[in-house]
Amino acid sequence: MATEVKVPTLGESVTEATVGEFLKQPGDAVAADEPIMSLETDKVAVEAPSPVAGVIESFKVEVGETVEVGAVIAVIAEGAAPAATNGEQAGRAEQQREEGNEKREDGGNASSDDGSVTMSPAVRRAVIEHGVDPTTIKGSGKDGRLTKEDVVAAAKAKGSDGSASTSAPAPAAAPAPSAKGERREERVKMTRMRQTIAKRLKGAQEEAALLTTFNDCDMTAVIEARNAYKDMFAKKHGIKLGFMSFFAKAAALALKDVPAVNAQIDGDEIVYHDYVDLSVAVSAPNGLVVPVVRSIDQMSFAEIELAIADYGKRAKEGSLKMEDMAGGTFTISNGGVFGSLMSTPIINPPQSAVLGLHRIEDRPVAVNGEVVIRPMMYLALSYDHRIIDGREAVTALKIMKEAIEDPMRMLIDL
């Protein structure tokens, strides 16, 4: 008996997705609810599971194809996988695998004549995330193709002994070196998420009256507090005490005092919020995503750190859901983790402001008439001047600065 696999419900107002990659091949056995392919929406990548246990008979779509909710994307033959001794069934499965591979424009990964490696999207993301050299890894897939598991295993082996794994046999012959001065290009179709990011950011620039105000912040007090309590904090709450929870609390304090920075425009009305739903920009394989920590003004430091850590982990795994990124009244983006000294972040519509954090570096500053070296960070608040006046933006950023420089303010609501 054959069962059709259909595109699952993707989320409110989301009606279509793009086929990202096949996680299985025709002829492979699958369990009920086991993912067989990934689908990319405007915001997240979701997995399409098999509704029954059986064998993949065929795929009805190709990588890169746009599919609507409810469309048939695969057919599953219910029952056990064909026995390896059954020549006719095994041969048919092998033929289906070959046909499935041919349909995938960027589906596999293999070494080309010039020594380069063509990788599937999942493998390419894993290579970038783990920082390994794909040409040094022996693939376990068909025809020696790399799989995501091969990359993860190589990364673990490298991390355990400080070098690449030596268990894999060396290639029979070294690839021919590229000609000196040879120039290459690679043309890759933008993912649906990247296209949406591009449209939203460009739309924010065209619609909002963007302006950025800057300040610098002495991180001494926060660093001292963190060093003093980080061990007890981790022991009690099971999570490290980071800087983000301090800035989240400081932002909540400022947004309560300057509500326009936490508001948004809806038609000819301004919507003010008496709560703070914080969008935290985190890096995902397909681009930047902004999951929302809700009612952060009511949360403890530990609750904030746990929520942000969970979102960061799920972003890397590609397991964020549509509802995780819905809403949000204010955004914090931390470019400092990548070494940024200063930037002008773009607001996340329909929000009206975003706080940009940057790297901490020792700089000479004047304190009580003396030049001293302090750990300083530049802060940037980009805002929509249609709704937020300069005085309000500067005041809000100043409150955040003062709260970080004197964390006691956050405890006594000053």
**In this structure, are 231 and 153 located in the same domain?**
no
Quickly count: other Cβ atoms within 10 Å of residue 235's Cβ. Answer: 8
Active-site hit among 114, 231, 385, 406: 385
Identify whether the C-beta of residue 128 lies closer than 8 Å to the C-beta of residue 122: no
**In this structure, are 257 and 367 located in the same domain?**
yes
Q: Give CA–CA dist 144/367, Å, rounded.
A: 63
Backbone angles phi and psi of 128, in degrees to 5: -65, -45
**In this structure, are 154 and 236 located in the same domain?**
no
Q: Model-level pTM greater than 0.85?
A: no
In a domain, 184, yes or no: no
In a domain, 16, yes or no: yes
In a domain, 228, yes or no: yes
What are the E-state strand segments in 121-171? Answer: none
Instruction: Collapse the DSSP code of 360 into the 3-class scheme (helix H, G, I; strand E, B; otherwise coil) and give the result.
Output: coil
**In this structure, are 132 and 265 located in the same domain?**
no
Q: Which residue has the higher pLDDT, 142 or 371?
A: 371
Which of 41, 45, 39, 42 shows the shortest CA–CA distance to 59? Answer: 39
Query: What is the extent of the structural domain holding 276?
Result: 194-411
Instruction: Kindly give the residue spans of alpha helices, DSSP state H, lying in 258-347.
Output: 301-317
* pLDDT tier for residue 373 given thresholds of 50, 70 and 90: very high
- The question of whether 385 is a catalytic residue gets the answer yes
**In this structure, are 55 and 139 located in the same domain?**
no
Q: What is the CATH number of the domain that holds 136?
A: 4.10.320.10
In a domain, 168, yes or no: no
pLDDT mean over 358-367 = 94
**In this structure, are 281 and 403 located in the same domain?**
yes
**In this structure, are 264 and 157 located in the same domain?**
no
Q: Which residue has the higher pLDDT, 258 or 124?
A: 258
In a domain, 167, yes or no: no
Sequence-distant (6+) residues with CB within 8 A of 227 are none
The top-scoring range by mean pLDDT among 169-183, 228-242, 279-293 is 228-242
**In this structure, are 126 and 30 located in the same domain?**
no
Strand pairing of 353-357 and 330-334? parallel
In a domain, 186, yes or no: no
pLDDT mean over 131-149 = 72
pLDDT of residue 188: 80
* pLDDT tier for residue 399 given thresholds of 50, 70 and 90: very high
**In this structure, are 244 and 383 located in the same domain?**
yes
Percentage with pLDDT > 90 across the chain: 38
In a domain, 187, yes or no: no
What are the E-state strand segments in 196-314? Answer: 210-218, 264-266, 269-271, 278-280, 282-284, 287-289, 292-293
The structural domain count of the chain equals: 3
**In this structure, are 77 and 127 located in the same domain?**
no
Q: Which residue has the higher pLDDT, 211 or 158?
A: 211
Q: Tell whether the torsion through CA atoms of 101, 104, 109 and 112 is positive or negative.
A: positive
- pLDDT value at 352 more than 90: yes
**In this structure, are 140 and 256 located in the same domain?**
no
Identify whether the C-beta of residue 178 lies closer than 8 Å to the C-beta of residue 145: no
Q: Render pLDDT for 109-124 as a digit per residue (tens, 0 to 9).
A: 444 444 445 455 566 6
Query: Average pLDDT of the chain?
Result: 80
pLDDT of residue 107: 42
**In this structure, are 140 and 213 located in the same domain?**
no
Active-site hit among 114, 231, 257, 389: 389
